[in-house]
Amino acid sequence: MKKSIYRICLTIVCLFAPAGTACAQSIEEARAAYAEGRFMEAAEIARALGTSEGHALAADSLAIHGYYVAPEGERAGLFRRAEELAREAVRLDAANPEAHLQLAHAMGRQAQISGTLKALKEGYAGKVRDAIEEALRLDPKMAAAHVSLAAWHAGVVGAGGFFAALLYGASEKEALAHFDRALELAPQDKAVLFEYALGLLKLDAEENRAKARDLLERATGLPPEDAFERLVHRKAVERLAATGGG
């Protein structure tokens, strides 16, 4: 009830506030929808702002909804739309690291549903890496970009083997270095801990099982702070059980 009253009041304020103020409040409304798990609504509110920040948030919202919530038949369309929004975010402000990261996010999700061979053939691996590296060039302390680049290295090495790693310059050493940097920057981030664990299991499930289990235990021990973290938490609990923990 309180949240409904807040949204009504926010709408009234936006009607009478100066344009710049209304825009700032609307991005907060989009973030509130995202935090509550209303990802499609968050995407629409954020996109309507016409800003790089808004388009990046819209792309993120659609990619998350597509991966975690939407029926399988709707995923491809959502991921394509997320990529379009992310590209527009980059066009609106090429200096926005989040825009480049969300472009990588959307392309990465499309690569996942395309299958390894098709993804490699269409050049997704290189495109995703380039977008993440641009985000890191713009913001070297962006934990989400470090964990994304680490996951990219781990994914290419784990899925493509020696030749794919050689072709794209992926390595276990780089994966671990970026995972460690992400964890250093965000030691209490549930998604960082979860992705680090997944990366270790992709690189060598047997050798890295103990460390991956420790990271998953840390991830599941943190209370979820929003809807996205609740989705990550559920995945982390499932993966922890699969590794013999929990």
Predicted confidence (pLDDT) per residue in 161-190, tens digit: 666 677 788 999 999 999 999 999 999 999
The mean pLDDT of 17-21, rounded to a whole number, is 42
CA distance 10 to 85: 25
Q: Which of 95, 169, 103, 179 is nearest to 137 (CA)?
A: 95
* pLDDT value, residue 115: 76
pLDDT confidence of 118, banded at 50, 70, 90? confident
Same domain, 172 and 243: yes
User: Does 124 fall in a domain?
Assistant: no
Same domain, 93 and 151: no
Question: What rounded mean pLDDT belongs to the chain?
Answer: 89
User: Does 5 fall in a domain?
Assistant: yes
Q: Is it the case that residue 137 has pLDDT exceeding 80?
A: yes
User: Does 242 fall in a domain?
Assistant: yes
Backbone φ and ψ of 38, nearest 5°: -90, 65
Q: Is it the case that residue 239 has pLDDT exceeding 80?
A: yes
Q: Which of 193, 190, 196 is nearest to 230 (CA)?
A: 190
* Sign, CA torsion 136/141/143/146: positive
Q: Is it the case that residue 122 has pLDDT exceeding 70?
A: yes
Same domain, 88 and 168: no
Choosing from 102, 133, 167, the residue where a domain stops is 102
Choosing from 102, 128, 157, the residue where a domain stops is 102
Same domain, 3 and 62: yes
pTM summary value: 0.87
CA distance 199 to 209: 11
CA distance 59 to 39: 10
User: Does 58 fall in a domain?
Assistant: yes
Domain count, the chain: 2
User: Does 177 fall in a domain?
Assistant: yes
Residue 221 neighbours by CB under 8 Å, 6+ apart: none
* pLDDT value, residue 246: 63
* pLDDT value, residue 24: 46
Same domain, 245 and 148: yes
User: Does 111 fall in a domain?
Assistant: no
Choosing from 40, 73, 102, the residue where a domain stops is 102
**3-state secondary structure (DSSP) of residue 206:** coil
User: Does 134 fall in a domain?
Assistant: no
Determine the structural domain holding residue 204 and report its residue range.
141-246
Q: What is the CATH number of the domain that holds 181?
A: 1.25.40
Amino acid (1-letter code) at residue 115: G
* pLDDT value, residue 206: 94
Q: Is it the case that residue 230 has pLDDT exceeding 50?
A: yes
Q: Which of 184, 211, 195, 210 is nearest to 150 (CA)?
A: 195
